[in-house]
Amino acid sequence: MAPVATSENNHNNTDVQKYDIFEDYKGSYRFAPIEEAQVSRAMIKRYFNTMYERAISDVVIVGAGSAGLSCAYRLANDRPDLKITILEANVAPGGGAWLGGQLMTPMVIRKPADRFLREIGVDYEDEGPFVVVKHAALFTSTLLSKVLAMPNVVLMNATAVEDLIVHSDFEGKQRVAGVVTNWTLVALNHDTQSCMDPNTITAPVIISATGHDGPMGAFSAKRLVSAGLLKELGNMRGLDMNRAEPAIVNGTREVTPGLILTGMELSEHDGSNRMGPTFGAMIGSGIKAAKEAQRILDT
Ligand code: 48N
């Protein structure tokens, strides 16, 4: 008779048997008995404990697109001691990396960023100067699964960053010191209710990877302007693949004390070109942002 699922089961057992539903669902149910409250409490206990514990993080990454996830992967690997918290406004992380271009599914990545594909174990077709992943979702889901498996990474999706926390040091110099958060559905409905105040997460380093388009694109770059920390946006320029990708990777940096911009959000800040449906620079920029974060934390 098939074993009834119990918490004592060693979920890491090596001799995993094929889950044969015919044997287990014969006659009476074969699921272990449960109380509804057990399910609720299992979620509530973990999620709100995480919120409590991550109210102070070491690094917050805003945006779980290709740049934000590449950054999280590299940083969590380089520094397993860091509490890395990713905030993603959408229910589904991944940003624009579920498709290649114009709703077509193959994803183009220019060399040398193919090295990252080999590092995370994503297969591709080699076309000489670039490679093609058969479906963008294969890249994004593989990267996402590795990031989520890391013990020092927490992803809070459906959670929007609504503002930046900005502190002044003793010399009056302003420094980004955290983010202001709310459930995204609340952030999108502020005008429908009386004030629904936000929450906060403080951290010495914020990495913003909120992309260049969409209703919340380039969030932190735009907030720097409205908060008086940046005179004006550079505004993303027209498409030029050969100029855009090195500009984004080389330009990835701490744009104001405590805030690193990475990925396509940087094109709006700097006024660099867009590269269109090629993703090597997102990977390179994310990795550069991870290095920048370590530099800041180590100074
Ligand atoms: O994928 P995106 O939009 O951003 P990147 O920079 O990771 O990747 C950009 C890339 O997909 C391209 O645009 C390609 C290369 N095309 C270039 C071109 O020329 O067209 O991911 C940003 C993520 C999204 O998932 C958003 O939902 C999220 O950031 N986000 C936020 N999350 C939390 N709080 C916010 N305020 C917020 N704003 C955006």
Q: What residues contact 244, with CB distance under 8 A and at least 6 apart?
A: 267, 272, 273, 274, 275, 276, 281
260 phi, psi to nearest 5 deg: -105, 135
Q: Which contacts (CB < 8 Å, 24+ apart) does range 88-91 have?
A: 88/63, 88/64, 88/155, 88/156, 88/157, 88/158, 88/159, 89/63, 89/158, 89/159, 89/160, 89/161, 89/184, 89/187, 89/216, 90/157, 90/158, 90/184, 91/157, 91/158, 91/184
Measured from the CB, is residue 279 less than 6 Å from ligand 1?
yes
For every one of its 299 residues, what pLDDT tens digit does the chain have, with 9 covering 90 and above?
Answer: 444 444 444 455 566 776 666 666 666 657 788 999 999 999 999 999 999 999 999 999 999 999 999 999 999 999 999 999 999 999 999 999 999 999 999 999 999 999 999 999 999 999 999 999 999 999 999 999 999 999 999 999 999 999 999 999 888 899 999 999 999 999 999 999 989 999 999 999 999 999 997 677 999 999 999 999 999 999 999 999 999 999 999 999 999 999 999 999 999 999 999 999 999 999 999 999 999 999 999 98
pTM for this prediction: 0.94
Q: How far is CA 176 from CA 201, 206, 255, in A?
A: 12, 7, 10
Interatomic CA distance for residues 107 and 278, integer angstroms? 7
- Cα diameter, the chain: 74
Ligand 1 within 6 A of 164 CB? no
Atom of ligand 1 nearest to the CA of 279: 15
Q: What is the pLDDT of residue 169?
A: 83
Check pocket membership of 207 for ligand 1, CB cut-off 6 A.
Answer: no
Residue 283 C-alpha to ligand 1 middle, in angstroms? 13
In this structure, which residue's CA is closest to atom 25 in ligand 1? 95
Minimal-distance CA residue to ligand 1 atom 10: 96
CA 95–ligand 1 middle distance (angstroms): 5
Structure-block tokens of residue 101? 């271009």
